[in-house]
Structure 1
Amino acid sequence: MNRGRRVLLKGLGAGALATALPTTMGAAQDASTAPHSTTDLIRNGKMKLSFRPYELQLKHTFTVAGNSRDTTPVVLTEIQYEGLTGYGEASLPPYLGESQQSVMQFLSKVKLESFDDPFLLDEILAYVDSIEEGNRAAKACVDIALHDLMGKLVNQPLHRLWGINPANTPVTSFTIGIDTPEVVKMKTEEAARFKVLKVKLGGGNDREMIETVRSVTDVPIYVDVNQGWTDKQQALDMTHWLAEQGVEFVEQPLPKTAVEDLAWLTSKSPLPIIADEAFQRLGDVADFQGVYSGINIKLMKSTGLREAQKMITVARALDMKVMIGCMTETSCAVSAAAQLSPLVDWADLDGNLLISNDLYEGVKVIDGKLTLNNLPGIGIRKRTA
């Protein structure tokens, strides 16, 4: 077995290898002449990581329980290897606890030059994770860029390498932030092409928010409270009212530290209770069985795609619901997360649609449904205008 084949088996797994090789080599082609032969995939190059800050401009002021903002800082990354470039992104909303400065300080410590095989993701990402505790978004932007690079090296989209059927992507919700009835009505009307809405609550005008949305549309609603409720009985009463309004689940209704109250609420609520702020990394999944009905996976919390895949597997084994979400992000991070979306129950991947200065083109929303393309890696290209 030549070195290229060993690399693919180690980095992708046998199932993914069977998916990748027919397209990259062709059944009748000889490996020495194939345009993307496995012997040509891995040479003796070195990976080069670069990064820069960028500020996302929101189309509308975005308000959740606790804060409002008009911009979101991000750090954009690139990993160059043998003429190809993998793209990544760290999105940094205030509650995440990271900043452009902290991300760039972390990334300055990442020395990918010591690895000459970009397919060894377990080894590379274990090294990145070991550099410092925390820094989840910083680690995610490296993980995303590595996965993008890997797909480009075999000229395949990630969902194909993972054996995921792109036809099974879910609809995505579109987020309506806390605001006045006039603005909420306007935003709801603007979101008419979406089949489900995600409404932020916890600002003291919860019933008004839902009633305003319902005055415009009868599509299903996801509710995200962002820890904005404090009383478990009032929370339970609200879940019953929300169920009558066509709400499908409630995300992080109580403070993440109120574990016993959350478990009580989950056991009595007519709606699933989903963990968001309380849920960060893989080790949290098993701890939340019985406390929540399910989890909301975000790449900026999970340190990227590698761990997000494992989270889905563990959650399914524990019979928990799975949602995949995002921060305010460009199409880079959103398209990366969308590669996993056919595996989940719900998707909230609209972060790129909330900004006016996206640098990339990637996953599309067609008739409310996430639609993956066949571009290699995470499925993005840079915008030309």
Structure 2
Amino acid sequence: MKTATHIITLKSRYPFRIARRKEALTEKSSVMIRLEHEGVVGLGEAQPSLYYYGETIESVQQVVEQAIPLLGDNPFLLEDILHELNATFPEAPAAIAGLDIALHDLVGKLLNVPLYKLFGLNPQKTPQTSYTLGIDTIPATLERLEAARQYPILKVKVGLPGDVEMVKAIRERSDAIIRVDANCGWGVDEAIERINALEAYNIELVEQPIAAKNYEGLRKIRDNVNVPIMADEDAITSEDLPALVGCVDAINIKLMKCRGLREARRMIDTAHIFGMKVMLGCMSESSLAITAAAHLSPLLDYADLDANLLISNDPFNGVKVRDGKLMLPDRSGVGVLPV
């Protein structure tokens, strides 16, 4: 297979901050990956995060170049190819996710079927996605809230002083479902106090209240609050899930941390076996990666696939959102088209 990469910088509609990051992001770069086989092109997207294994744009490009001999000449051998990639590059989740997406796009196009059909899923069963409000002042957040009136579910970033007051202000102006995400921002006792205070504002769940790998802390929180607890930074791959049983009610899967669609599907099935609910979330990707993830959404309990809604220069048309519901394209493969 022939490969090529190029970098694209995605511009945020609004400055975007979370609790474990001091600065607000205004842009984020992705590596677009192109695989060609017998004249058919598969597209993938890799958006690295220093938080996960210290990946960078440069390291993603290096992995893609070094992966060429492992891709072979039969893209239908997905399990074999991805096994070799994971074994060879154990600390390159975003790079492998981008290759995984490109391979699935290529296979779908070669078979002339959309990914949801390749996965055997019903496109009518897609869930509604949340729309994310990053950490900011109350006036700035309420201004964004007005622009988000069309979305029936909100994810509100919390984890810093004043977050209860923020959620209160949002609830006073909106009857949308509210999910909150602390991104590791609280301590254990602080999380219990904050979550019990936030319960008054009818929140649906709390995502990653404390720093990762504190399983006893998660268990204590879950035992002392009434709101469901979801793991994100603690749920990287399916191997992380047994340790979370009894500690959380749900997990958030992201292609860029779990290494792509193949592992995401494995995580969904594993979590459900353990009795945990599943959200599929995202980093700050374009419609390429978001649409790829959305093809798995009929299997989900929750979706947070809104990154393409939060950027101003999306280079692709793909999944659409209608009254909050994800609407999958019928085109073959991932199904995106360049803008």
Q: TM-score range by the shorter chain?
A: over 0.9
Give CA deviations for 1:241-260 in whole Å, capped at 9, x if unaligned: 22221211000001113221
Give yes or no for contact 1:170–1:341 (8 Å, CA) kept in 2. yes
Q: CA deviation at 1:282?
A: 1.6
Whole-angstrom CA distance in 1 between matches of 2:108 and 2:279: 24
Question: What SS does the corresponding residue of 1:329 show, helix, strand or coil?
Answer: coil
Give the distance between the partners of 2:330 and 2:286, measured in 1 at CA: 19
Quick check: 1:152 aligned with 2:131?
A: no
Answer yes or no: is the 8 Å Cα contact 2:48–2:60 preserved in 1: no
Deviation readout 1:80-99 (Å, 9 max, x if unpaired): 11121111111134433211
1:297-317 Cα offsets, whole Å, 9 max, x none, are: 000011000011011111111
Distance 1:342 1:188 in 2: 27
1:38 aligns with: none
Query: Which is worse superposed, 126-135 or 54-63?
Result: 126-135
1:174 equivalenced with 2:131 (yes/no): yes
3-state DSSP of counterpart to 1:313: helix
Distance 2:185 2:79 in 1: 38
- The Cα shift of 1:236 comes to 1.6
CA distance in 2 between counterparts of 1:58 and 1:92 reads 16
Pair 1:273 & 2:234 matched: no
CA contact (8 A) 1:49 1:112 kept: no
1:61 to 3, 15, 20: 15
SS of residue in 1 equivalent to 2:66:
coil
Task: Give the Cα–Cα distance (whole angstroms) in 2 for the partners of residues 321 and 270 of structure 1.
Answer: 16
Report the 3-state secondary structure (helix = DSSP H, G, I; strand = E; otherwise coil) of the residue aligned with 2:173: coil
What residue is the counterpart of 2:59 in the other structure? 102
User: Which stretch shows the higher mean deviation, 346-355 or 214-223?
Assistant: 214-223
1:351 aligns to 2:307 (yes or no) = yes
CA distances 1:340-376 after superposition (whole Å, capped 9, x unpaired): 1110110000001111111110000001111112011
Aligned residue pairs: how many?
336
Contact 2:70 2:84 in 1 (8 A): no
2:88 to 118, 131, 136: 131
Report the AA paired with residue 63 of structure 1.
R
Contact 1:178 1:209 in 2 (8 A): no
**Bigger radius of gyration among the two:** 1
Partner residue in 2 for 1:161: 118
Tell me the equivalent position of 1:224.
181
Paired amino acid for 2:324: G
Normalising by structure 2, report the TM-score: 0.96
Query: Kindly, what percent of the aligned residue pairs are identical?
Result: 43
Give the partner amino acid of 2:3.
Answer: L
1:103-132 C-alpha deviation (Å, 9 max, x unpaired): 111111012576221111001111111222
**Corresponding residue for 2:288?**
332
**Distance in 2, Cα, partners of 1:50 & 1:283:** 31
Unaligned runs of 5+ in 1: 1-46
Distance in 1 between the 2:223 and 2:138 partners? Answer: 33
Any idea what the Cα deviations from partners look like across 1:32-84, whole Å, max 9, x if unmatched? xxxxxxxxxxxxxxx11211122111111001113221111211101111121
Correspondent of 1:254 among 192, 207, 210? 210
Range that drifts further, 284-293 or 151-160: 284-293
